[in-house]
Amino acid sequence: MNTIFKERKIVSRLFAVLLSALLMVPLLSSCGGGSKNASVPPPVDDTVGRTVSDRTSQTEAKKGLSTGQKVAILAGAAGLYYLYNQHKNASQDGAQGKYYLSKNGRVYYRDAEHRPHWVTPPAEGIRVPESEAQKYREFQGYNRSATGRDLSGITSSAAPAL
């Protein structure tokens, strides 16, 4: 009879240790070192109250226009995609630096503190020579058209996660 009691005691101790270890797993996993993105502040939505416009590309486009050259106005998704293509290979940070295309079809840039800022094309649109604007014809906002596709189906492999 003593041997049965000792076996039960050993089994119950092992079971208690196992349950205690299982209860400690969530506690220990929540105290981890955290992820690399934990120190990055949340995104800043610059679309509220103001727009980020690219004055340098507008002046460059205006400089290259002759009196007989046709011009297309890019607004909405077309303007946003134009701004993205103008800045996607830039090397610096900030509004004049590198732009990224998010998975949800929005364009953003990162400031010096690595916070993302959403980009909005200027309300008046961007004047671009028609020959250069042809690649944006299918997008919404080409010559102020309300029809066309948005940027949600376009992905970029160079975009870091938000």
Asked whether residue 24 carries a pLDDT value surpassing 70, the answer given is: yes
Two tokens at 125? 């649109």
Distance CA(62)–CA(141), nearest Å, equals 19
Q: What is the pLDDT of residues 31-90, one digit of tens each?
A: 655 555 556 666 766 655 544 554 444 444 454 445 556 888 888 888 888 888 888 888
Which strands, in side-by-side order, build the sheet including 99-101? Answer: 99-101, 107-110, 116-118
Q: What is the pLDDT of residues 92-130, one digit of tens each?
A: 877 788 888 888 888 888 888 888 888 888 888 888 888
Two tokens at 89? 């290979």
Which carries the bigger pLDDT value, residue 44 or residue 156? 44
Distance CA(127)–CA(121), nearest Å, equals 12
Two tokens at 73? 């106005």
Sequential DSSP letters for the chain: -HHHHHHHHHHHHHHHHHHHHHHHHHHHHHTS---GGGGSPPPB-TTTT-----HHHHHHHHHT--TT--EEEE-HHHHHHHHHHHHTT--S-STTS-EEE-TTS-EEEE-TT--EEE----TT-EEEEHHHHGGGTTBTTBTT-S-SB-STT---TTPPP-
> What global pTM score does this model have?
0.54
Average pLDDT over residues 129-148: 81
Strand partners, 117: 44, 109
| CB distance 72 to 142 below 8 Å | yes
